[in-house]
Amino acid sequence: MGSNPDVLIIGGGLAGPCCAFRLHQGGVSSQVLTASDGIGERVRTDKIEGFLLDRGFQILLTASPEARTVLDYDALNLRPFYPMALIRYQNRFYRFSDPRRHPIDGILSLLSPIGSLSDKLRVRKLRNHVLTGSLSDLYNRSETRTLQALRNLGFSDNVIDCFFKAFIRGVFFDPALGGSGRMFEFGFRVTV
């Protein structure tokens, strides 16, 4: 612990240590303070009675601008995963998949009872919306809460409850969808 750091960083999640790293590169001393019992906060692995238990959203979003800047992807030897959601609804599991990446699963997704056909077409519209323009353009859009943003896009309560709430809970720990609509759009942008 430094005696008089130039900067105190509040929060030991992923952003805190990245900030400390950047400051260090610039010759600025810093100290990370966290209320948690360790670095990583919501995204980390705990060892409990010999078991490794992951918390949080344990997928590296490789499209994240900060991750691209800070991490050496080649050295990490990353492996792809099958991008889709497996959703339990009315005692059955349904795949919710992007038809551009996996046409057969995408077609099966269209037939699932999760959301209407219009909702599924709106997901495509949402994808195009979040990919339009630069990240600066996205951050300069008008702000609203995530739930209101989804309703403004015309999504039904069914798809909001069955898909978006689980997705947003996993990524942002925001089950009430009360967080920033712009941050939701950023999260959706880097996962599609």
Which residue did the predictor score with more confidence, 110 or 57?
110
Answer whether residue 152 shows pLDDT above 70.
Answer: yes
- Kindly report the number of other CB atoms within 10 A of residue 19's CB atom: 17
Give the number of other Cβ atoms within 10 Å of residue 120's Cβ.
19
Q: What is the pTM of this model?
A: 0.69
**pLDDT score of 135:** 86
Q: For position 49, what pLDDT does the model report? A: 95
Q: Quick check: 96 pLDDT over 70?
A: yes
Average of per-residue pLDDT across 114-131: 90
Task: Please give the Cα distance from 184 to 77 (Å, whole number).
Answer: 28
Residue 101's pLDDT is: 82
Mean pLDDT of the chain: 87
- Average pLDDT, stretch 74-95? 87
- 3-class DSSP string for 21-64: HHHHHCCCCEEEECCCCCCCCCCEEEEECCEEEEECCCCCCCCC
